[in-house]
Amino acid sequence: MNNNAAILSAFNLDANQCLIEKTSTGLINQTFIVSDTISSKRFILQKVNTSIFKNPIAISANIKLASACILAVDEDYPVIKTNQTIKDEDYFIDDQNCYWRLIDFIENTTTIDSISTVDQAYQTAYSFGKFTSLLQNANTENFIPSIPDFHNLDLRFEEFKTAYANTDEERKAKAKDYIDYLLSRIEIVTIFKNIESEKLIPKRIIHADTKISNILFDAHSFHPKAVIDWDTIMPGYFISDLGDMIRTMVCETGENETNLDNIVFRKDYYEAIISGYKDAIQLTENELNLLSYAGKFMTYMQALRFLTDYLNHDVYYNITYPEQNLDRAKNQCRLLQVLEENI
């Protein structure tokens, strides 16, 4: 991190008395832990990736709005506490036009990268369900989507078609089986379009990044303590949040697994996710009818997004080897098949 003294002093911290440590988590933003050695206070310092979050001001506005709405219902809820700069701004903008923000570190907590018990699945689903449920009286129109059309499957499908039309023959040939498979499951897009056009289910405030590492667990009791990473909170459908938990938790291995035989459905985890979510939030009848669609919807969309990025020559997701996005797409196509066989 360059110019760190300027960044820290913008938040009224003295670089000479702070330790800065980069964390490895997060593919999108760059994150550091700042420890003030005099006050012993710790913070999360983040450089927001403005090529993805084009409107960082929307993020901070949404976080403030959500915090106020949640605290009005539950004054003890651990909301995200962001620090203003000495100019009373949400971000420090450095001389390279990078946006930096400083968030209070929540002490005595730990994160889990991959889920290993059914109870964790239940607790995670309950926590994200509760988050949306606490926001149910919020006026969704006051929230600005930090990534417009983030989970708009119809648009993701159009982006995929554009990528296909513009890619080279080699990538097209390598991706062919997976393109064909996704085209054969186009019904998943049709169902989404119908949800939209018929307004079948309510727009709620969703979290939109419901992976287990976005829950802070108490370091001693291992009970969930806080939901973090509120960057993508936005109006959306419950199928996004529930679906992404199913996508990331029903199978023991994640989206980078290349041995497709390891993609196995864990029924007990699936059931725990559904019960945890349902116990936390009152769903409408139409929403209940879409419980089994949620996981397929998100897995289909993620397969499409990885394949699109592969066809686009890897401009969005970080990769560590040349065909990783194709491998991720294969993984998600297999997961989709497994979900369709089991749900």
How many other CB atoms are there within 10 angstroms of residue 105's CB atom?
Answer: 16
- Give the Cα separation of 239 and 128 in Å (integer): 12
Judged by CB, which is closer to Mg ion: 85, or 332? 332
Question: Residue 52 binds what, of ligand GN1, Mg ion, none (CB under 5 to 8 Å, by partner type)?
Answer: ligand GN1
- Provide the angle, in degrees to the nearest 10, between the axes of the packed helices 118-134 and 238-249: 170
Tell me how far, at minimum, the Cβ of 234 lies from ligand GN1, in Å: 11
Q: Which of residues 70-129 bind ligand GN1 (CB under 6 A)?
A: none
Nearest C-alpha neighbor of 116 from the set 258, 266, 226, 296: 266
Question: Residue 165 binds what, of ligand GN1, Mg ion, none (CB under 5 to 8 Å, by partner type)?
Answer: none
Tell me how far, at minimum, the Cβ of 305 lies from ligand GN1, in Å: 7
How many other CB atoms are there within 10 angstroms of residue 284's CB atom?
Answer: 12
Q: Is residue 241 at the binding interface for ligand GN1, with CB under 6 A as the rule?
A: no
72's enclosing H/E stretch is helix 56-73
Nearest C-alpha neighbor of 103 from the set 24, 174, 47: 47
Three-state secondary-structure class, residue 83: strand
Q: Is residue 302 at the binding interface for ligand GN1, with CB under 6 A as the rule?
A: yes
Tell me how far, at minimum, the Cβ of 324 lies from ligand GN1, in Å: 11
Tell me how far, at minimum, the Cβ of 310 lies from ligand GN1, in Å: 14
Question: Residue 302 binds what, of ligand GN1, Mg ion, none (CB under 5 to 8 Å, by partner type)?
Answer: ligand GN1
Write the DSSP string, 304-328: HHHHHHHHTTS-SS--SSTTHHHHH
Among 16, 24, 27, 168, binds ligand GN1 (CB under 6 A): 27
Strand-pair category, 224-227 with 215-218: antiparallel
- Give the Cα separation of 341 and 32 in Å (integer): 42
Judged by CB, which is closer to ligand GN1: 49, or 167? 49
Tell me how far, at minimum, the Cβ of 147 lies from ligand GN1, in Å: 6
Q: Is residue 257 at the binding interface for ligand GN1, with CB under 6 A as the rule?
A: no
Q: Is residue 28 at the binding interface for ligand GN1, with CB under 6 A as the rule?
A: yes
Judged by CB, which is closer to Mg ion: 85, or 146? 146
Tell me how far, at minimum, the Cβ of 231 lies from Mg ion, in Å: 6
Judged by CB, which is closer to ligand GN1: 127, or 302? 302
Cβ pair 263, 257 in contact under 8 A? yes
Q: With CB under 6 A, what is the number of residues at the site for ligand GN1?
A: 7
Q: Is residue 209 at the binding interface for ligand GN1, with CB under 6 A as the rule?
A: yes
Q: Which residues bind Mg ion (CB under 5 A)?
A: 209, 229
Cβ pair 235, 202 in contact under 8 A? no
Tell me how far, at minimum, the Cβ of 115 lies from ligand GN1, in Å: 15
- Give the Cα separation of 330 and 262 in Å (integer): 13
Residue nearest to ligand GN1 (CB): 27
Judged by CB, which is closer to Mg ion: 209, or 327? 209
Cβ pair 308, 156 in contact under 8 A? yes
Q: Binding mask 52-71 vs ligand GN1 (x if CB under 6 A, - otherwise)?
A: x-------------------
Tell me how far, at minimum, the Cβ of 208 lies from ligand GN1, in Å: 7
Cβ pair 219, 212 in contact under 8 A? no
Backbone angles phi, psi at 100, to 5 degrees: -120, 140
Q: How many CA atoms lie within 13 A of 298 on its CB side?
A: 25
Residues in touch with ligand GN1 (CB under 6 A): 27-28, 52, 147, 209, 255, 302
